[in-house]
Amino acid sequence: MFFIMNYTLYKIDLNAVSLQAIALNNGSFLPLSGIYLPFISKNKIIATNYNDAISGDYGRYGGYVKMYYLMDINNGINPQGMDSQLEMLGQITLDEDPFSDFPEYSGTSPVQIHFIRSILLQDLAGTPWLYTHYGKGESNFYTGLVIAGWQINKFLTTSFYINETGQLIGELMQKGTHTLTFPGDYSGFFLLNSGNIKRTNQINNFEFYHSNGIIITYNNSIIKLTRKAVGINVESIALDFPSVTEEKSFINSDNYLFWLDGNTIKRLWLGTGGTEEIIYTNIRIIDNAPNRNLLISSGRNLIFYQYAEDSVTEVHTYSLDMYNPNAQPIILDSNDMDIIKIVELDFNTCFSTWKHTAILSVLTETSTGTRRGKK
């Protein structure tokens, strides 16, 4: 595990009998404020700090320039400043040219991909991989997940590593073609984790990298990325994906999407031929509340909130079986319960919530509603 405290980068070997935090820099002479990438590679990690090039005042909104440093996790070499290579950070140099599919391509080689417009995910062996789209527009070639207004069906995956100068070098590139054509912009992502599948609107590779997989959603389809022993498995599925929000939707481990649509709870099988189903509807279901998850899972049960009969101030918490067609909601509490789901502890997920200050790495390289069937 790696984390930053008081401008010092520390590592902890979680396999050691006695846990110790070992400093990898001197926080007074080289203050560090963050970790740039969510992994180590060939015993190297890239850290950052902020250097004021204008005002001399140390403040959050001063004239700061982000500086990058290549750190050796075994203290084998001194920290190396990378300010002269900023244009390379965030780019992965591929070992092959993906545009060889297009005879008319005359661009420079090697091709470089910006990972901030792609998805980072580790395979089951802990090797970092990248997934992105590529193709040809009317007048130019592109790589990236967001290509507004264009149609997409080609993709590539590549593993990569940090070399001796801090550059990201791709290897084992694999190209593929989806059976579907996607619009140039996604609608969101779901992070596949043990018992906790979270939705987000933005690319966040610190969270993506430590997840078990990613679902990219479009209005007409989804792309599912899951980890293999070596590499990433890519699957594209045609289905009408609904417009959902984080606080009112989730995907469970059985590959079903559940979401709250107004006063109705619905589900969708995320496989070929999946269609929208109505699980439960009641005009007293609460579908709008600030800073509140309004639909969550607990085991095979849905948890939601509903106003009591003849009251708009008394809120009850209910549980409903996800699959039993004859099940009726069961009241859990006669008062408003802000239920936080208890899930299996996942260290990767826990530490990824520290955002850019820590990473975890393996050093070995009663209801009165109605229940209905299908809509």
Residue 260 token pair: 């709250």
pLDDT of residue 55: 39
Task: State how many domains the chain has.
Answer: 3
pLDDT of residue 99: 81
pLDDT of residue 87: 47
Residue 352 token pair: 């990824």
Residue of 144, 163, 162 lying closest to 154 (CA atoms): 144
pLDDT tens digits, one per residue of 188-209: 888 887 665 777 878 888 888 8
pLDDT of residue 137: 67
Pair 112, 254 in one domain:
no
Which regions in the chain score pLDDT beneath 70? 50-65, 83-90, 107-109, 137-139, 147-150, 184, 194-196, 334-375
Pair 319, 203 in one domain:
no
pLDDT tens digits, one per residue of 143-168: 888 766 667 788 999 999 888 888 88
Pair 231, 140 in one domain:
yes
Pair 252, 225 in one domain:
no
Pair 9, 49 in one domain:
yes
| pTM (2 d.p.) | 0.76
Q: Which domain covers residue 259, as residue numbers? A: 245-358+366-375
pLDDT of residue 94: 84
Pair 161, 77 in one domain:
no
Burial class (CB in 10 A: 0-12, 13-18, 19+), 39: buried
Pair 102, 180 in one domain:
yes
Alpha-carbon gap, residue 297 to 136, rounded angstroms: 42
Pair 218, 346 in one domain:
no
Pair 136, 272 in one domain:
no
Residue of 114, 113, 131 lying closest to 122 (CA atoms): 131
pLDDT of residue 374: 44
Q: Which residue has the tokens 């180590």?
A: 40
Sign of CA dihedral 45, 46, 49, 52: positive
Pair 249, 237 in one domain:
no
Q: How many residues does the chain have?
A: 375
Residue 348 token pair: 């990767």
Pair 96, 68 in one domain:
no
Pair 296, 250 in one domain:
yes
Task: Name 285's Cβ contacts closer than 8 Å, sequence gap at least 6.
Answer: 260, 263, 264, 265, 304, 305, 306, 369
- Domain boundary residue, one of 241, 256, 286: 241
- Domain boundary residue, one of 43, 70, 86: 86
92 and 197 in contact (C-beta within 8 Å)? Answer: no
- Domain boundary residue, one of 86, 120, 143: 86
Alpha-carbon gap, residue 23 to 13, rounded angstroms: 12
- SS3 track for the chain: CEEEECCEEEEECCCCCCCCEEECCCCCCCCCCEECCCCCECCEEEEEEEEECCCCCCCCCCCEEEEEEEEECCCCCCCEECHHHCCCCCEEECCCCHHHHCCCCCCCCCCEEEHHHCEEEECCCCCEEEEEEEEECCCCEEECCCCCCCEEEEEEEEEEEECCCCCEEEEEEEEEEEEEEEECCCCEEEEECCCCCEEECCCCHHHHHCCCEEEEECCCEEEEEEECCCCEEEEEEECCCCCCCHHHEEECCCCEEEEEECCEEEEEECCCCCCEEEEEECCCECCCCCCCCCEEEECCEEEEEEECCCCCCCEEEEEEECCCCCCCCEEEECCCCCCCCCCCCCHHHHHHCCHHHEECCCCCCCCCCECCCEC
Backbone angles phi, psi at 287, to 5 degrees: -120, 10
